[in-house]
Chains A and B, each alone.
Chain A
Amino acid sequence: MATGVAAWLPFARAAAIGWMPVANCPMPVAPRDNSKRQDELIILNVSGRRFQTWRTTLDRYPDTLLGSSEKDFFYNEETKEYFFDRDPDAFRSILNFYRTGKLHYPRHECISAYDEELTFFGIIPEIIGDCCYEEYKDRKRENLERLQDDQEENKDMKMPNMNFRETMWRAFENPHTSTMALVFYYVTGFFIAISVITNVVETVPCGSTANQKDMPCGERYTVAFFCMDTACVMIFTVEYLMRLFAAPSRYRFMRSVMSIIDVVAILPYYIGLVMTNNEDVSGAFVTLRVFRVFRIFKFSRHSQGLRILGYTLKSCASELGFLLFSLTMAIIIFATVMFYAEKGSSSSKFTSIPASFWYTIVTMTTLGYGDMVPKTIAGKIFGSICSLSGVLVIALPVPVIVSNFSRIYHQNQRADKRRAQKKARLARIRIAKSGSANAFLQSKRNGLLNELLELTGTEEDEQKLTKSTSLLESQHHHLLHCLEKTTAHEFVDEQMYEQNCLETALQTYPSRSPSISSHDSSVGTCCGRRVKRNTPLPNASTPSAHPIPTHQGPLQELSAIHIQCGDPPSHSTSRSNLNLKTDDSGRINCKGGRITTAIISLPTPPALTPDGDGLHGPPQRRPSAGTNIVKVSAL
C-alpha cells in the first residue's frame, strides 16, 4: 500500500461497511489501537533550522530513520526537540518526502552529498519521483565515471605480483606505463607508416630505363620492395602473436575489430607467398594486394580521434542509412526521367537507367564532369531541374543533417535510457505491488501463528510477533481480511495459485473432507467448519498421489498453515522447541527482513520452522519442487 494514501485508510475501512450485508460469515476482529497518542507536533532541529511536522507524518515510513525509534537517539532532552547535525537544505527535500510521498532531487545539490543524506536518513534512492529520476541517474553515472577515471589513473601504478602475461597486456594497452612499451608503440607506428608509404611509392613510375618505358618502381626494384614488405609483415605478425598471447581472453581478442584488421593486413602477404606465380590467379593476387591498405587502419590504435570517429559513425549508422536511402530515391527518379528523356536522341550516352545513375550523381553533387551531357531539349530541362534539386537536396541539408546527427544521436541515447529506466521503473512498481500483496499474505501466516501462540505460547511471544507490523499495516491487513470473509475466498500468492490450478486439473475423485464436497457453494467453505483446504497443495509435485487428508476428525475445527521455508527444516520439533523457534523468527522478523509498507519492500521469506504439531503427531513435510512446505495443524 502506498503510504502516501495512508490518510485515506480510515475512509476505506469505513466504506467496508458496504460489504457487511453481503457477507455470510462473521468478520474478523479489528486491531486495537493501543497507543492512543494524540497527534503531536515534532520539532526537528537541523543545524539550527527548525522544521516542524506532525508525528503521524513521520510515522508513515517506519523503516526510515525519522519514522522509527532510531530518531530517539537524536532527542535532546533539554530543548525537547530532535537535533540533527546535517545539511538543512538537503533536509528540506527529505522532509517533503514524508509530507507528499514523493522524493525529489534538487538539481543544485551535489550528487554525492545528496546520496549521503539519503543514506543517513535511511531512504532508498529508487523511490525518487519520475520527474527527478532521470536527472538523478544521469548525475550519478557521471559521478561514477569520474570515480572510475580516477581509479584507472591509480591503476597505472605497477601492481605487484603481476605475471609476465599481464604485464605484457598492460604494456600493449597503455603504452605510457613503461619505457619498453613506449618503444614498442613507436616502433610499430613507424613500421605502419613505412608499410603504407611503400605501398604508395610502389606504384609511382620511376625513371625509364634504356629498353623500357616508364614502369612503376615496384617492378623496377622488386627485390627492395619485397624485402621492405617482408620486414613490415614480420613485425606485424610478431606483434599480433604477442598480443594474442598476452590477451586475457583470447577468444574475445580474436573477435575484436582491431585484431581482424591486423589479420587482414598481413594475410595477403602470406597468401602471396603460398600461391605460385600462376597467370590465372595472378589477377586475384593483385586484388588481394588492395587489402594491404588496411594497414592504415592500424593507426587507430595510436590515434584516439580515429577511434572516436569510428564509434560515432557506428552509432549514427541508422541516420546515415536513411540519408543514403533518400538520396537513392532521388537518384533513381531523376535517372529514370533522364533516360526516357534522352531515349529519342541518337548516339546518346544514356544507354540505360543504371548508366544514367552516374550522370545523376555527378549532377546532383554539383560535380559536373561533363562526360555525359543531355542533348535533347527535354533532357536539358530535366537535367537543369536535376542539378537545381541537387543543390537543394544535398548542399542545403548537409549542415542541417550534421546538426541533426548530433541531436538525434543524443535523443536516441536519452530514449534508450528512458526505455531502460521504464523497464526498471515498471519492475519497481511490480515489486512494490507484489511486495504489499506479499506483506498481507505474510502477515496472515503470522496472524495464524499468533492464534497458535495464543493457545500454546506465552504473551511475550505474541507481542514480539505483533510488534513487527505497524498499526497502519495491521489495519490495512484487517481490511483485506474482511474482504476475504465477505467473498469467502482467500488471497494466495502466484505459486499456490498455479499449484491449485494444477491440482484441480489433476484431481480425480473428491476427498472425504466435507468442505470439498460443498465447495461449490462458497458458504460451506467459510462458515460451518473452518476447514482450510490446504492439503491438496503438496500433491502438486506428486500428481499420481491422492489427496491426503489432514489430521481431522469430524468434530474438530482445523486450520492448517502452509509455511514455505527457505532452508530445509533440520531439527525435529517438540513443544518446547516451538517457543524457542518463534523467538528466533520473531527476532528475525524485527531485524533484517522486515515486511514494511514502504514503497519498496522486498519480502523476505521467513526462516520459520514452527511445527507446533506436538498435538497431532509429526508434521508432514513434503519437499516439492525445491521449496519445503511444512504443514502445521493446530486446534
Chain B
Amino acid sequence: MDGKRVETISARVDAAVSSPDSVEDELELSAVRHRPEGLEQLEAQTRFSRKELQILYRGFKNECPSGVVNEETFKDIYSQFFPQGDASTYAHFLFNAFDTDHNGSVSFEDFVMGLSILLRGTVQEKLNWAFNLYDINKDGYITKEEMLDIMKAIYDMMGKCTYPVLKEETPRQHVEVFFQKMDKNKDGVVTIDEFIDCCQNDENIMRSMHLFENVL
C-alpha cells in the first residue's frame, strides 16, 4: 500500500505564505484526491480479474468522484439500502472494518481488498474478517459488550416496524445465545480460534459463507 499518492493542492500553491493552520486544513480536506494503484498491481494483490476491477472502480468513482470515501458518505450510501431502519451504527463498524490502516477514509485499495476477502477468499479468511468486524477495539477478543454493540447496530437496521415486535432485551438475548455457542471455555470472551472452530462446526454458517460468491 505504499504506492499511494495523495495530492493536496494547497501544498503546491504558495508554500511561502504562512497561513493559520485551520485554513490550510480546510483547503486540504477539500482538495484531497486519491489515485489508486495501477490495474496490474491490484490484479496481483486481489483475486479479481481485470474486468471485475474495472467494473468495481467505475461504480466506486461514480459515487465518490474524489477517490476516497469518508465515514459520512459511507454511512449515507449504506443507509440507502435499509430504508426502514437506522443503518448508521452498523455502517460505522463496517467502515472501521474496511479502513484497515485507520486513517479515516476508505480508498479504493481498502475497498477492493476487503471485497476480495469477502467474495473470493477462503472460509478461513472470511471468518477472520467477520471476527475483525466484531472485535471493535481490535484486541483479539470479542467481549460481551462489543458483541452487544454490534448486535444492537444490526437490530437498529430493522427499524421499528417489525414482526414480532422488537423488545429491549432481544439483542442481549441474542448475544447470550451467541456466547453460549461460541465461548467454549466460558471465560466471557471469544478468541479467534474459538470463533473459527465453532463456526466451522456449524453447518448453517458454513453454508451461508458461500452465499455471496457469485455477487460480482
Tell me, in angstroms, the Cα distance from A18 to B126 when the chains sit together. 9
Whether B170 contacts A522 by the Cβ 8 Å rule is yes
Is A492's beta carbon under 8 Å from chain B? yes
Tell me, in angstroms, the Cα distance from A476 to B118 when the chains sit together. 18
Q: Which of A25-33, A148-156, A244-252 contacts B (4 or more CB under 8 A)?
A: A25-33
Shortest distance from the beta carbon of B141 to any chain A beta carbon, whole Å: 15
Q: Which of A1-9, A40-48, A313-321 contacts B (4 or more CB under 8 A)?
A: A1-9
Prevailing SS type, chain A contact patch: helix
Is B11's beta carbon under 8 Å from chain A? no
| A 55-109 contacts with B by CB, 8 A | 99-100
Q: Which of A212-220, A418-426, A478-486, A625-633 contacts B (4 or more CB under 8 A)?
A: A478-486
Among the listed B77, B151, B164, which residue makes an inter-chain contact with A519, where contact means beta carbons less than 8 Å apart? B164
CB-CB under 8 A from A26, the residues of chain B are 204, 207-208
Shortest distance from the beta carbon of B174 to any chain A beta carbon, whole Å: 7
Shortest distance from the beta carbon of B112 to any chain A beta carbon, whole Å: 10
Whether B165 contacts A480 by the Cβ 8 Å rule is no
Among the listed A25, A33, A100, A434, which residue makes an inter-chain contact with B204, where contact means beta carbons less than 8 Å apart? A25
CB-CB under 8 A from B97, the residues of chain A are 18
Interface string of A1-26 (1 = CB under 8 A from B): 11011111111111111111111111
Whether B130 contacts A1 by the Cβ 8 Å rule is no
Which of A479, A486, A494, A504: most chain B CB closer than 10 A?
A486
Shortest distance from the beta carbon of A507 to any chain B beta carbon, whole Å: 12
Among the listed B77, B154, B159, B207, which residue makes an inter-chain contact with A19, where contact means beta carbons less than 8 Å apart? B154
Whether B55 contacts A39 by the Cβ 8 Å rule is yes
Whether A12 contacts B163 by the Cβ 8 Å rule is no
Whether B118 contacts A14 by the Cβ 8 Å rule is yes
Whether A17 contacts B58 by the Cβ 8 Å rule is no
Q: Which of A495-503, A549-557, A565-573 contacts B (4 or more CB under 8 A)?
A: A495-503
Tell me, in angstroms, the Cα distance from A483 to B159 when the chains sit together. 11
Is A525's beta carbon under 8 Å from chain B? yes
Contact status of A17 and B158, CB under 8 A, knowing A10-B215, A12-B81, A490-B163: no
Among the listed A14, A496, A523, which residue makes an inter-chain contact with B115, where contact means beta carbons less than 8 Å apart? A14
Among the listed A8, A17, A500, A521, which residue makes an inter-chain contact with B118, where contact means beta carbons less than 8 Å apart? A17
Whether B94 contacts A15 by the Cβ 8 Å rule is yes
Whether A497 contacts B63 by the Cβ 8 Å rule is no
Whether B160 contacts A30 by the Cβ 8 Å rule is no
Is B62's beta carbon under 8 Å from chain A? yes
Interface string of B30-60 (1 = CB under 8 A from A): 0000000000000000000000000110111
Is A145's beta carbon under 8 Å from chain B? no
Tell me, in angstroms, the Cα distance from A169 to B129 when the chains sit together. 80
Is A622's beta carbon under 8 Å from chain B? no
CB-CB under 8 A from B195, the residues of chain A are 21
CB-CB under 8 A from A476, the residues of chain B are 81
Is A433's beta carbon under 8 Å from chain B? yes
CB-CB under 8 A from B130, the residues of chain A are 17-18, 20-21
Which of B83, B114, B215: most chain A CB closer than 10 A?
B83
- Chain B residue nearest in CB terms to A533: B164
Is A493's beta carbon under 8 Å from chain B? yes
Among the listed B63, B165, B199, which residue makes an inter-chain contact with A8, where contact means beta carbons less than 8 Å apart? B63
- Chain A residue nearest in CB terms to B98: A15
Tell me, in angstroms, the Cα distance from A521 to B169 when the chains sit together. 10
Contact status of A21 and B154, CB under 8 A, knowing A5-B80, A14-B119, A533-B164: no
Whether A12 contacts B78 by the Cβ 8 Å rule is yes
Is A436's beta carbon under 8 Å from chain B? yes
Whether B163 contacts A17 by the Cβ 8 Å rule is no
Is A489's beta carbon under 8 Å from chain B? yes
CB-CB under 8 A from B56, the residues of chain A are 10
Interface string of B159-196 (1 = CB under 8 A from A): 11111111000100110011000100000000000010
Q: Number of contact residues on A: which range applies?
A: 35 or more
Tell me, in angstroms, the Cα distance from A622 to B151 when the chains sit together. 38
Contact status of A489 and B158, CB under 8 A, knowing A2-B80, A21-B199, A437-B84: yes
Tell me, in angstroms, the Cα distance from A262 to B60 when the chains sit together. 71
Is B157's beta carbon under 8 Å from chain A? yes
Whether B84 contacts A20 by the Cβ 8 Å rule is no
Is A352's beta carbon under 8 Å from chain B? no
Whether B59 contacts A487 by the Cβ 8 Å rule is no
Whether A496 contacts B161 by the Cβ 8 Å rule is yes
Is A253's beta carbon under 8 Å from chain B? no
Is B133's beta carbon under 8 Å from chain A? yes
Tell me, in angstroms, the Cα distance from A486 to B58 when the chains sit together. 31
Tell me, in angstroms, the Cα distance from A490 to B166 when the chains sit together. 10
Whether B83 contacts A1 by the Cβ 8 Å rule is yes
CB-CB under 8 A from B94, the residues of chain A are 15, 18
Contact status of A497 and B160, CB under 8 A, knowing A10-B215, A11-B111: yes
Whether A497 contacts B82 by the Cβ 8 Å rule is no
Interface string of B126-145 (1 = CB under 8 A from A): 11011001100000000000
Is B214's beta carbon under 8 Å from chain A? yes
Tell me, in angstroms, the Cα distance from A33 to B150 when the chains sit together. 31
Whether A22 contacts B151 by the Cβ 8 Å rule is yes
| B 52-76 contacts with A by CB, 8 A | 55-56, 58-60, 62-63
Tell me, in angstroms, the Cα distance from A99 to B63 when the chains sit together. 10
| A 514-541 contacts with B by CB, 8 A | 519-523, 525, 533
Whether A22 contacts B154 by the Cβ 8 Å rule is yes
Is A191's beta carbon under 8 Å from chain B? no
Among the listed B60, B81, B160, B212, which residue makes an inter-chain contact with A17, where contact means beta carbons less than 8 Å apart? B212
Which of B166, B207, B211, B214: most chain A CB closer than 10 A?
B211
In the complex, besides A20-B209, A492-B162, 8 extra interface pairs with C-beta distance below 8 angstroms are A6-B59, A17-B126, A27-B211, A100-B62, A487-B155, A491-B159, A521-B173, A522-B170
A-B contact pairs, 8 of them (CB 8 A): A10-B119, A16-B212, A18-B130, A18-B134, A22-B150, A39-B55, A483-B158, A521-B173
List the 8 closest pairs (A to B, CB-CB), nearest first: A7-B59, A14-B118, A497-B161, A489-B162, A27-B208, A20-B208, A492-B163, A490-B163
Residues of A near any B CB (own CB < 8 A): 1-2, 4-27, 29-30, 33, 39, 99-100, 433-434, 436-437, 476, 479-480, 482-484, 486-487, 489-494, 496-497, 500-501, 504, 519-523, 525, 533
Residues of B near any A CB (own CB < 8 A): 55-56, 58-60, 62-63, 77-78, 80-84, 94, 97, 111, 114-115, 118-119, 126-127, 129-130, 133-134, 150-151, 154-155, 157-166, 170, 173-174, 177-178, 182, 195, 199, 204-205, 207-209, 211-212, 214-216
